[in-house]
Structure 1
Amino acid sequence: MARNVLITGGNNGIGREMAAALAAHGDHVLIASRDLAKSQAATEAIRKADPDARIEAMALDLGDFADIDRFAEQLLQRMPTLDVLILNAGLYTHGTRALPNGLEAMIGIMHFGHFRLVRQLRDAVVAAPAGRIVVTASLAHRLGRLRFDNFDAPRKHRAAVFAYAQAKLANILFTRELAKRLADTPVTANCFHPGAVATGLWSELPTIIQRLLGSTLISPAEGADTGIWLATADAAREISGEYFVKRKPARTTAAARDMNLAVALWRDSEKRMDSAGR
């Protein structure tokens, strides 16, 4: 039976590869990004290569809580049950900047935007027979330290690399705490490092992160492999709350294993969502 799949940031790079692979798997795939025209072009290209693909696009601005709420309401009208939710949207900004909601853009989109989206779609994933949540994290989390006092204010240009790493650390901590909170449901939640992938984002990353991730670039299809495996493989149903590299659970920093820190991040995130309304 075809499953309903949502992928954020699915119009290029590894997101597009995951979308194409899951559509070829027979799933009904929806990709969401701020650039609707680019997403529609991606879906058209995927359908051209695979005329049987069931794939569509919707607009979603993860930097805008009101737009996340709008999107979730409209999505649930199309997909009241969501079998696979892939939180893949990412960005790197040169220097740091604030979103209209006051959050620093990288953590604001990659963590808080996704946190709000999961909050709105949780019941739809739980309603699926065997729901899966997959988060695109990164080895760059090794440079990350959570600075709760800096989530709101733009930091200096030289600190942009650490703001990116902080957001990727938040991805892993969020995944672990989400898995714990979903332990009494059929849903699994896991995250993965795609590798050093030759995408537009790679060229934006600073040298320190490029060296950390590795000098040998892989294709978007190779980078998407573990995400696709987490979304489809029977073996992936047996594990929840883990960080994967090349289809295997991998070690992280101590900070990324700190469940007290994960709880603190969750509580901070909930407080921000509650203060924002809905």
Structure 2
Amino acid sequence: MANLTGKTVIITGANSGIGFEAARHLAAKGAHVILAVRNMEKGEAALASIKEEINPASVELMKLDLADLQSVRSFASAVKEKHSSLQVLINNAGVMIPPYGKTKDGFELQFGSNHLGHFALTGLLLSLLKSTPGSRVVTLSSIAHRGASIDFDNLDGSKGYKAMKFYGQSKLANLLFAKELDNRLKQHGINTISVACHPGISNTNLFNLGKAKTPAFIKGLMALLSQPAEKGALPTIHAATEGSLKGGEYIGPDGRGNRKGKPAIETPAQGVYNEETMKKLWSVSEQLTGVKYEF
């Protein structure tokens, strides 16, 4: 990884798991890392941990709740007031298979937090990204996009809700957003690129069953099938820093089933980049969030 001194990086959900490991690595290479977190107490602990390990570390903590569009707007405004450039935006934060719930704005919790919150955040920070040479947006998807679809007639879950199905939908939305964003950036001659990635199966705190504790046998199974968060963060770090990427790539582990391994360019599920679906998702996302992208 090249020296990142003088580069500003935002990582959503950087207080634990993949986001925290990516923050550690990027801070160690000299980047100024903004930990964008919902839980400030956990954020303070993550900040202290990075500063204790890396000296000196340029790390900053800022409040961001992706399930609240007003919080997203406030965060974006605060970033633009404090910073004149943004090298990398890493859309990492996510919720996985919770019981049915809604965001503050009335969206289904997974689609609202994982996709719409990041869609709005990226749009609101686009002017900063555009003005920063060589900038990029990294959006985390998942192998759960395989077999998923976007149900435009039931995005809020009011006509029925299955946690895993809606998680897959939100991660497919992340992947389609990343690709469509890169298409539009290229169409407008903007040098910012958009890259998608996924961590394979990583043993992070996302793996909990609703509000219940994860059973011991599930933990044992996860240990066999998954890789630790530190390795799960490698595709994110690769997507954020690899100089040969042109935009539009999908980075994931190169092992069997793309569950674990070293980061490599991966081919998503066949036919996933449906042009009509991508454009419709973009239009619906602008309507729901009220954020219009100014290319």
Cα distance in 2 for partners of 1:268, 1:256 equals 18
2:251 is the counterpart of 1:244: yes
Identity %: 33
Write the deviation string for residues 15-48 of structure 1: whole angstroms up to 9, x where unpaired: 0000010001110000111101111110110000
Residue identity opposite 1:186 in structure 2? N
Write the deviation string for residues 227-265 of structure 1: whole angstroms up to 9, x where unpaired: 1111112122xx211211133222222452112211110
Write the deviation string for residues 180-205 of structure 1: whole angstroms up to 9, x where unpaired: 11111111111111011111112438
Against the structure 1 CA distance between its residues 116 and 31, is the aligned structure 2 distance closer, same or farther, given a 3 Å change threshold? same
User: TM-score, normalised on structure 1?
Assistant: 0.91
Q: Secondary structure at the match of 2:146?
A: helix
Q: Which shifted more, 215-224 or 82-91? A: 215-224
Alignment counterpart, residue 195 of structure 1, candidates 192, 200, 210:
200
Cα distance in 2 for partners of 1:154, 1:248 equals 38
Write the deviation string for residues 128-174 of structure 1: whole angstroms up to 9, x where unpaired: 110011111100011311001211234645x1110000000000000
Shift of 1:109: 0.5
Alignment counterpart, residue 7 of structure 1, candidates 11, 33, 43:
11
Mapped contact 1:61–1:67 kept (Cα < 8 A):
yes
> Is there any run of 5+ residues in structure 2 with no aligned partner, and where?
254-262
Per the alignment, residue 274 of structure 1 pairs with 290
> Is there any run of 5+ residues in structure 1 with no aligned partner, and where?
none
2:148 is the counterpart of 1:144: yes
Per the alignment, residue 38 of structure 1 pairs with 42
Higher helix fraction (1 or 2) = 1
2:255 is the counterpart of 1:235: no
Give the length in aligned residue pairs: 270
2:106 is the counterpart of 1:97: no
Residue identity opposite 2:71 in structure 1? D
Per the alignment, residue 169 of structure 1 pairs with 172
Cα distance in 2 for partners of 1:25, 1:232 equals 11
Cα distance in 2 for partners of 1:275, 1:187 equals 19
Cα distance in 2 for partners of 1:4, 1:26 equals 10
Mapped contact 2:203–2:223 kept (Cα < 8 A):
no
Cα distance in 2 for partners of 1:79, 1:256 equals 36
Cα distance in 1 for partners of 2:97, 2:232 equals 21
Per the alignment, residue 219 of structure 1 pairs with 228
User: TM-score, normalised on structure 2?
Assistant: 0.86
Q: CA RMSD in A?
A: 2.3
Q: How does 1:43-82 map to 2 (within 5 A)?
A: 43-82=47-86
Mapped contact 2:124–2:291 kept (Cα < 8 A):
no
